[in-house]
Amino acid sequence: MSALAYGTAGWLFLVGLYGIVTSRNLIHMVICLTVVQSSTYVLLLSIGYRSGAAAPVFADIPPGSRAVDPIVQALTLTDVVVEATVVALMLALAVQAHKRFGTLDPNELTPLRG
Amino acid sequence: MHALIPLPVILPLLCAAVLAAVNQLAPRWATDAMGLACALAVLVLCAVLAAHASHRLVYWFGGFHVRHGVAVGIAFSVDRIGAGMATLVALMVSAALLYSVRYFDEVGSLFGALMLVFLAGMVGFCLTGDLFDLFVFFEVMSVAGYALVGYKIEEAGPLQGAINFAITNSVGSFAMLTGIALLYGRTGALNMAQIGAALATHPADGLVTVALLLIMVGLLVKAAIVPWHFWLADAHAVAPVPACVLFSGVMVELALYGLARVYWSVLSASLAAHTADLRAVLIALGLLTALIGAVMCCAQRHIKRLLAFSTISHSGMFLVGLGLLTPAGLAASGEYVIEHAMLKGALFMAAGILLHRFRTVDEHELRGRGRGGDPGLRVAAAVFVLGGLGLAALPPLGVFFGKSALDGALTPVPGYGWVVGVLVVGSALSAGAILRVAGRVFGGWGERVPRHHEVLSAVSELPETLSPHDRTPAVMVAPPLILLIGGLVVGLFSGLRAAIAAAAAQMADRASYVAAVLGGHAHAIPAPHTPVVTLDFLLAAATVLGAVALAVWALAAPAVWWPLERVQGVATAGIVVLRRLHSGCVNDYIAWLVAGLAVAGAALALA
Amino acid sequence: MRELQAALFALLALGGLAVVLTRDPLRQALVVGVYGLLLALLFFALQAPDVALSQIVVCTVAVPVMILLALAKIHGGEHDEEDRKSSPEGEPR
Amino acid sequence: MSERARLGLFLGAATGMAVLLAWGMAGLPAFGAFHGAYALLIDHVVVAQRHATDAVTAVNFDYRGLDTLGEEFILFTSVVGLAVLLREQRSERERPPARAGEEHRFQGASCALRTLTLLLVGPLVVLALYVDSHGALTPGGGFQGGVLGAAALLLVFLGGGYLTMRRLSPHRLVELAEAGGAAGYGMIGVGGIVFAGAFLKNFLGYGTAGELISAGTIPLLSMAVAAEVSGAFVLLWSEFLDQALIVRRG
C-alpha cells in the first residue's frame, strides 16, 4: 500500500512533466502543470494518513481521539489556492501570447533565442 | 525590539492592499509616495533588526511557543545574515520604486502594489524560521514576479519570457514542496530548528539526500544555476527595468540564501559525513554556471540580456563560495552579494536610461549615440565604465573585497585552490563584455554589425515609457548614481567584513540556532578571519587587465594571427552550439531541469 | 477502506495519464474536471474533508471556468486572425 | 533541440528521477503508520486550547495563520497581476467597448433552463454563508465558502447575462471587497499585536466549543478570507470574461 500511495505521487509528478515536455499548446501545458502540482497534494495527504483514524474534526468524535494529521491538510489547502492562482496567471499569459503570436505552440514562440 | 519583527512583512502587504483599493482614485504622486515611504520604512525596520540581531531574535506568531520540544506555531528567527539580506532587499526596492516614478502610467498604482508584495515576500523569506512558511513566501515572490515580468504585454518577448519564467519556476517550487513533504514525513515537524534537531541524531539516508536534492533544485532554479538558468535571461531581457534591478540584484541571491539557510539550519549535522561530496557537486555547478554565463554574456548585443547573463555568471560565483560549506565561504558570498547587487542594479538602471532615450538597448544600434550630451547620459556612461571595472574587482573598489574574501575562503580548502583561476576567467569575460558595451555606446568605437549575426543575438524591444525623450528625468538619474557609488565604496568600510564574518559564523552555527528557537544552551562558534593578501591584488589585476584587453580586442577586432584562427573558429562554433541550446522553448527548459536534477542526484547518491 | 483507497490511487494514476495524453485543450478541460473529482474522492477517503471541499470548488468551478473562458477568447479571436495578419504590425500607438 | 532529442533527454532523466524519488520515498513511514509529533500535539490541544472543533481550520487560521496570510496575498497578487496582464491595450483602445448595449446570454439555453439556473443562486448563497461561518466547527471555511459565493454570481451570468452580473457586482465594490478582505486579515493580525502582544494572536473570548460564535478570532479571519476569496474569483473570472467578450477589430 505504501508503494501504491507514494508511487502514485511520484508517478503524477513525472507524468505531468512528460506532458509539459511534449506539449504543443500552452493551455495544455498549464493543465499538465496542475497534474504535477496534484502530486504534491497526494504525497502530503498520504504521509499524514493514519490507518483507522477519523478526520480531524472533533465535532463528531471526542477530543483527543485518534485522528489523521491536520497539519498536512492545512498545507494542502494552501497548495490548492496556489494552484488556482498560478493557473489564472498562466492562462492570462497564454491569452495574450495568442493575441501577439497567433499561436499557442511554445515551439513557435521564438523572439527569445540565444 | 521583538514587537518590530513582523512589521517589515505586514506593513508592505497592508500598503499593497491599500494601493490596489485606491487604484485610479488617488492621484499618482500620492500612491508613489506611499509606496516609496513604505519601502523606506521597511528599510529602516530591517536595518534596526540587523543591528540588534547579534543574538538571534525569535518571534512566535500567534503567541504559540514551543511545547514539549515541539514548535506549535510559526516562528521568525532573525539573525544578522537574514536581517542583513532583508535590508539589502528593502534598499533595492526603494531605489527601484524611486526610479520608476515616471514609469507605468497605464496601470496606476497596481505596479506599486505588485512591488510591495514582492518586497514582503522577499523579506518574509529572509526572516522565517519555518520550512513551509519559506515555501509560502517563495510563492508570494514568484507570483508577483510572474506578473512583473509580463508587464509589457504589447510585445511578444515579455510574454514568452514570463511564460518561461512561470512554468520553470513553478516546476522548481513543486520539487521543493515535495522535498519539504519528505522531511515532514520523516520528522513530523516544519520548524527548521526542530527538523534539524530531529535529523541530527542519524546520518543522512536516501530520504534526506533526496529531500536535499529536491529543495536544492527548487532554489537553484530561482538562483539561475546551470542547467536551470535558461528562464533568467529570457525574463530579464524583457522585464521592465525596475523589476530587473530586483531580480538580478536580490531575488537570485535570495534563492542562494535559502539554500544556505536550509543547509546550515536543517541539514548540516545529518550531512556531516557527506560534506565533501556535496561541496564537490555545488562547486562544480557553480563553476559551470560562472563560465557558461560569462561566455553567453560576451555573445549578446541586447544590453539587458547581456547583463542578465552576467548575473548568471556571478550567481555561479556566489554558489562557489556557498558551496564550500564553511563559514568563511558563506561570509565571502555575503560580501560579494552586497557589492554586486548595487553595481548590477545601477547597470540595469543605466540600460533603462538608454532605453528611455533611444527606444532600444541594442549595443550596435546605439553605437556612438551615448557620446557627450546631458547629465543623464553622462551618468549612464559612468555607470557602464565604473560598473564594469567594479565587477572586474578593480582594487579597492566594487567587488574587490568580496572577491578577495572568496579567494581567501577557497585557498584553505584542500583541492580547491585552482578554482580562483577559473573565477578570474569568468569575471574577466563578463566584465569585458560590459566594458565593450561602454566603449561602443559611449565611445563610438568598434564596428556596427547588422542584426542576425551568427554570434550576436538580438531581441527587439519597445520602450517602457510613452514616446521618445531627449531628456532624462532626475528620478531616473539619481538612483543609479547612488547605487553606483554605494556599490563601489561599500567594501571600503572596514567594519563590513568583520560584521559579515560574524554574521556568517552565527548562521553556520546550527547548535545555537536550535538552542535559540527550541530553548537550551550552546556555545557560539568563532567568526572566520580572512585578511586581504597580495595574491588578491594580483588576481584582481589579472581580472581587470583581462576584461580591458577583451573589450579592446572586441572593439578593435584586429586581424588574427594565423595559429589563433583555428582556435577562434572552434570557439565560435562552440558559442553557436551554446546559443542554440538557449532555444527560448520552455519544453526544452523543463527537459534540462529534469536532466540536471537526475545528474545532480546521481552524483549525490553515488558519491 | 484500504481497498477503496487502493482503487482510488490506481484510478488517479491512470487519470493523470489521461489528462496529459488528451492533447485537445477543450476536451482536456473536461478530463481534468473528472480528474479533480477523483482527487476529491481520494481526499475524502484519506479523511481530509476540508481539502476535498476545496478541491471540488477549485477543480469543478474555479479552474474550468477560467480555462473555458480562455479557450473561448482564443477560438473567438481566430476569426479576425486573418485581418490581423493582413494588416502589418504597425498598429496605431 | 529537436523534439526527438528533447524527448530522449527527458525520458532518460525521468528514469533517473524516478529511481531517486523511489529511493527517497522508501524512507517514509509506511502508509497509515505516521505519527508526527506536531500533529499529535495539535490534535490533543486544539479543542481545549482554542474551542475549535475542526483542527484543520484551527491550524489554518490560528496555529499557522501566517501561512494563510501569505496564501491570501498570493491570491490577491494574482488578481492584481491579472488586471495588469489583461489590461486594455493601446492597440485595443480604439474600438467600441464590448458592444455596450448588447446582452450576452448563455447561448442555446432555453428560458426554463435560465430560470432554473437563477433559482439555484439563492440556495448557493445560503450554502456559501453556511460554509463560511461554520469553518471552526465542521469541514469548510472562508476559502471554500468564498469560491461558492463567487460561483453564485457566475450562475447569475449564466442565467441572466453579462450586464445583469455587472450590475449586481459593480467592479469597484468587488475590488474593494477583495482588497479589504486581504487587508482585513492583516488588520485582525495587527489587532493581535495591539490587544494580545503578538501578530495574529487571538484577542477575543473563545466561547463554548461547538457554538457558532466560538474559537476566538477564527470566525472573523474566516470571514475576511471569504470576502477576499469571493472578490478575487469574481474578478479573475470577469477579467477572462471581458477578454472572451471583446470582439476584436484590429
Q: Taking residues D187-214, report their average pLDDT.
A: 79
Residue position matching grid coordinates 474578478: D235
Q: Is the pLDDT of residue D94 over 50?
A: no
Q: What is the mean pLDDT of chain B?
A: 89
pLDDT band at B464 (very low <50, low <70, confident <90, very high): low
A49 touches chain D (CB under 8 A): yes
Q: Is the pLDDT of residue B569 over 70?
A: yes
- Nearest residue to B545 (alpha-carbon basis) of B455, B424, B456, B442: B424
Burial of residue D33 (number of CB atoms within 10 Å: 0-12, 13-18, 19+): exposed
Is residue A7 a part of any domain in this protein? yes
- The alpha carbon of residue B402 and the mean position of all alpha carbons in its chain are separated, in whole angstroms, by 15
Residue position matching grid coordinates 530553548: B519
Among the partner residues D139, D241, D243, nearest to C53 by beta-carbon distance? D139
> What are the chain B neighbours of A109 within 8 Å (beta carbons)?
156, 159-160, 163, 584-585
Q: Is the pLDDT of residue D101 over 50?
A: no
Closest residue in D to A13 (Cα–Cα): D18
Give me the numbers of helices (H) and strands (E) for chain A, helices first please: 3, 0
DSSP states of D21-34 as a string?
Answer: HHHHHTTSPPTBB-
> What are the chain D neighbours of B190 within 8 Å (beta carbons)?
38
- Do B385 and B488 meet the contact criterion of CB atoms below 8 Å apart? no
> What are the chain A neighbours of D10 within 8 Å (beta carbons)?
17-18, 21
DSSP states of B201-219 as a string?
Answer: TS---HHHHHHHHHHHHHH
Residue D108 confidence (pLDDT): 52
Put simply, the answer to whether C83 touches D90 (Cβ < 8 Å) is no
Among the partner residues B21, B117, B211, nearest to D24 by beta-carbon distance? B211
D42 to each of B69, B448, B541, D38, how far by Cα in Å? Answer: 13, 68, 60, 6
- Do A75 and A44 meet the contact criterion of CB atoms below 8 Å apart? yes
Chain D (141-200) residues lying within 8 Å, Cβ to Cβ, of chain B: 175-176, 178-180, 182-183, 186-187, 189-190, 192-193, 196-200
Q: H or E stretch including B295?
A: helix B275-298
pLDDT band at B466 (very low <50, low <70, confident <90, very high): low
- Nearest residue to B536 (alpha-carbon basis) of B438, B403, B357: B403
Q: Give SS3 for A39.
A: helix
What the block records as the C-alpha cell of B422 is 577559473
Put simply, the answer to whether C66 touches D236 (Cβ < 8 Å) is yes
Segments making up each domain of chain B, as ranges: 1-129, 130-263+274-462+472-606
Is residue A61 a part of any domain in this protein? yes
Closest residue in D to B137 (Cα–Cα): D70
Separation of alpha carbons B582 and B55, rounded Å: 46
Q: Is the pLDDT of residue D246 over 70?
A: no
Closest approach of B151 to chain D, Cα-based (Å): 6
Chain A (82-101) residues lying within 8 Å, Cβ to Cβ, of chain D: 82, 84-86, 88-89, 91-93, 95-96
Is residue A63 a part of any domain in this protein? yes
pLDDT band at D219 (very low <50, low <70, confident <90, very high): confident
DSSP states of B474-529 as a string?
Answer: HHHHHHHHHHHHHHHHGGG-HHHHHHHHHHHHHHT-HHHHHHHHH----PPPPPP-
Largest Cα span, chain A: 63
Q: Taking residues B390-400, report their average pLDDT.
A: 90
Which of B165-169, B466-470, D21-25, D180-184 is predicted with the least confidence, judged by mean pLDDT? B466-470
pLDDT in tens, chain C (93 residues): 788 999 999 999 999 999 999 998 889 988 999 999 999 999 999 999 989 988 988 888 888 888 888 888 887 755 444 444 444 433 333
Separation of alpha carbons B461 and B477, rounded Å: 21
Is residue D48 a part of any domain in this protein? no
Q: What is the ipTM of this complex?
A: 0.91
Residue A103 sits in a domain of what CATH number? 1.10.287.3510
- Per residue in B343-368, pLDDT tens? 999 999 999 989 888 888 888 888 88
Put simply, the answer to whether D247 touches C76 (Cβ < 8 Å) is yes
pLDDT band at D211 (very low <50, low <70, confident <90, very high): low
Share of chain B above pLDDT 90, in %: 57
Put simply, the answer to whether B584 touches A97 (Cβ < 8 Å) is no
Separation of alpha carbons B103 and B110, rounded Å: 12
- The alpha carbon of residue D130 and the mean position of all alpha carbons in its chain are separated, in whole angstroms, by 16
- Per residue in B123-134, pLDDT tens? 999 999 999 999
D24 touches chain C (CB under 8 A): no
Domains in chain A: how many in total?
1
- Per residue in B71-130, pLDDT tens? 888 999 999 999 999 999 999 999 999 998 876 666 678 889 999 999 999 999 999 999
Residue D100 confidence (pLDDT): 41
Domain that holds residue D87: 54-245
Is residue D209 a part of any domain in this protein? yes
Residue D9 confidence (pLDDT): 94
Q: What is the mean pLDDT of chain D?
A: 80
Separation of alpha carbons B455 and B324, rounded Å: 35
pLDDT band at D248 (very low <50, low <70, confident <90, very high): very low
Query: Amino acid identity, residue D206?
Result: Y
Chain D (64-93) residues lying within 8 Å, Cβ to Cβ, of chain A: 64, 67-68, 70-71, 74-75, 77-78, 81-82, 85-86
Among the partner residues A43, A89, A113, nearest to B166 by beta-carbon distance? A89
Burial of residue D111 (number of CB atoms within 10 Å: 0-12, 13-18, 19+): exposed
Put simply, the answer to whether D9 touches B595 (Cβ < 8 Å) is yes
Domains in chain D: how many in total?
1
- Nearest residue to C69 (alpha-carbon basis) of B149, D86, B24, B479: D86
Which of B367-376, B437-446, B540-549, D29-38 is predicted with the least confidence, judged by mean pLDDT? B367-376
> What are the chain D neighbours of B188 within 8 Å (beta carbons)?
34-40
D143 touches chain C (CB under 8 A): yes
Is residue A114 a part of any domain in this protein? no
Q: Give SS3 for D94.
A: coil
Residue B179 confidence (pLDDT): 96
Closest residue in B to A10 (Cα–Cα): B178
Residue D250 confidence (pLDDT): 36
Q: How many CB atoms lie within 10 A of CB C83?
A: 11
Residue B105 confidence (pLDDT): 64
Total CB pairs under 8 A between chain C and D = 66
pTM: 0.93
- Nearest residue to D169 (alpha-carbon basis) of D181, D151, D193, D191: D151
pLDDT band at D96 (very low <50, low <70, confident <90, very high): very low
Which comes out higher in pLDDT, residue B447 or C30? C30
Residues in chain A, pLDDT under 70: 64, 110-114
- Per residue in B181-223, pLDDT tens? 999 999 999 999 999 999 988 888 899 999 999 999 999 999 9
Burial of residue B577 (number of CB atoms within 10 Å: 0-12, 13-18, 19+): exposed
Domain that holds residue A58: 2-108
- Nearest residue to B100 (alpha-carbon basis) of B228, B245, B198: B245
Residue C13 confidence (pLDDT): 95
Is residue A113 a part of any domain in this protein? no
CB neighbour list of residue B9: distance below 8 Å, 6 or more residues apart: B120, B123, B124, B127
Q: H or E stretch including B78?
A: strand B75-78
